[in-house]
Structure 1
Amino acid sequence: MNNTRFLRNCLLFLILVLAISFGIHTQLRNAGELSPYGDMLIWSYLINLVLAFGIVVLIYSLRNRMKTQLGFLFIAGSFLKFLLFFLFFYPEFKSDGAIDQGEFASFFVPYFLALIVETYFAAVLLKNLEKENPG
């Protein structure tokens, strides 16, 4: 598997999906009379982009040495994202007393989209790994 091409495709696809979602998200927030970039929306998309790509890079770089633990690394990456949510986003969202739908969507929309892309590329990676090293 070509390192550069696999990781470049992952990053470009992740950017594309999150950029389209960000555009739609800001338009929906604006139509709902919310600040288009409020609720830490930009930070949420950027952090999820960086972490999702970082997790794929980590799994890719350890694919041969830790073949049987790749699933645990993937799950640990999701745990890390949730940890960052509770450390950085949750206190900001909770500061007004309750988390509203806009705040919830601001973190979890990019989280789930990035997770879908991560899962797809992790599956491709595992499929290619199996082809390279059958048995």
Structure 2
Amino acid sequence: MKVILQRSLQANVHVNHEIVGKIDHGLVALVGIAHGDTTETVRVLAEKTANLRIFSDEEGKMNRNVMDTGGGVLAISQFTLLADCRKGRRPSFTGAASPDIAKELYQNYADHLTSLGIPVATGIFAADMAVSLVNDGPVTIILDSDEIVR
């Protein structure tokens, strides 16, 4: 599982020219589910997302997490995070979980964040989405379950 976190001042996602999810401030989480990921993998990365101290405190130091700021998470499913570009010119996505498994685990990620008290908005799984955000900082963090969980 890979999650790209972008600290944002505001973000939204459109499907068919309609906003289907938005946050005022917090994190945009691009979520890629890989073969072998489990509900435990999702739990660990959701808790890491919630607890990362990447928001500034009163002194300008990154000492606050998204919950401390009252921010939300806009979670977007993105299988392309699992692209393998080592050979040729066309990425291979064989490392991505099958859509039925990925959809369930992506929803588990969003549900776990919600259970921690974080407002969560989502896109629509497998839809063609247009994601807009105002990156804050910019601060962008990569979470990879191969480095955190396994």
Report the TM-score, using the length of structure 2 for normalisation. Answer: 0.33
Higher helix share: 1
Instruction: Tell which structure's C-alpha radius of gyration is larger.
Output: 1
**TM-score, L = length of structure 1:** 0.36
